[in-house]
Amino acid sequence: MPYAGLNLDGMTALVTGSGRGIGSALAFGLAQAGANVALSDVPEQLPGARETAERIKGEGVDSRTYGLDVLDLANIRRTVDEVVRDFGRLDILVNNAGIRRRQPALEVTEDNWDAVIDTNLKGPFFCAQAAARVMIEQGGGRIINISSQLAIIAGENRAAYCASKAGLANLTRVLALEWIKYGITVNAIGPGPTETPGLLAADTRSAAELAADLSANMPLGRRMLPEELVGAAVYLASPSASATTGHLLIVDGGWTAI
């Protein structure tokens, strides 16, 4: 008989920023593991979310899309209410929405600092708070924050981003500590460089510069694919992770191992 501990049948997951990239891959992977999935993103990425929702329905589970800008607290609370109304429950929240702005520390403006911290740290906190209120009533749940390998090492020209991801990793521990008594586990995943539309748009280096960087820093020898993060998310979302909480699971092709 197959091991049932990774089965998400009957659960509902909400994934933020799932119109493309890692969020879209995680949404599809959670659906393949059996979960019904609420995809969400800002309006301009909703067409991508709808496409993923159609692919998910082909897996035999339910899926819907929601316009959710994690900068808007009223929008967060409304979306969580709508997901519970539509699916009857909310078991898994994946805080994936995030932005990157590369700038030397000396040139960072207040606007850029606030945009990165608000999207990558404040937004996930208030999504977690809204989801936890529902999960407490249901007797438990799973929250997964998409942090970064840059939570534990420095990245040049990424002051606000690194601060946001390190903050999210320690926020994960605080929420884990406060909410384990409600049966809610809170964990983070720390991806290394992963080929997504957002990463490709931000990386303006030549092919030679990229190859030199990967050869010096990435034991895997290439960038990761979003699908290579799915197993980590399914595990952290699953019944088998009931005692795993407050953990930052680094999945980075060995970048931080050297």
Ligand X SMILES: NC(=O)c1ccc[n+]([C@@H]2O[C@H](COP(=O)([O-])OP(=O)(O)OC[C@H]3O[C@@H](n4cnc5c(N)ncnc54)[C@H](O)[C@@H]3O)[C@@H](O)[C@H]2O)c1
Q: In Å, what is the CA distance from 115 to each residue of 53, 98, 108, 196, 209?
A: 28, 10, 11, 20, 28
Structure tokens at 4: 């049932």
Binding to ligand X (CB under 6 A) within 203-242 occurs at none
Least distance (Å) from ligand X to the CB of residue 45?
4
- Which part of the chain contacts ligand X (CB under 6 A), choosing from 4-12, 78-86, 105-113, 188-196? 188-196
Nearer to ligand X, 207 or 243 (CB): 207
The residues annotated as belonging to the active site are 161
Binding to ligand X (CB under 6 A) within 64-93 occurs at 68-71
Q: Hunting for tokens 């035999």 — which residue is that? A: 60
Least distance (Å) from ligand X to the CB of residue 236?
15
Binding flag, residue 153, ligand X (CB under 6 A): no
Binding flag, residue 167, ligand X (CB under 6 A): no
**Which parts of this chain interact with ligand X (CB under 6 A)?**
16-17, 19-23, 41-42, 45, 68-71, 96-99, 119, 146, 148, 191, 193-194, 196-199
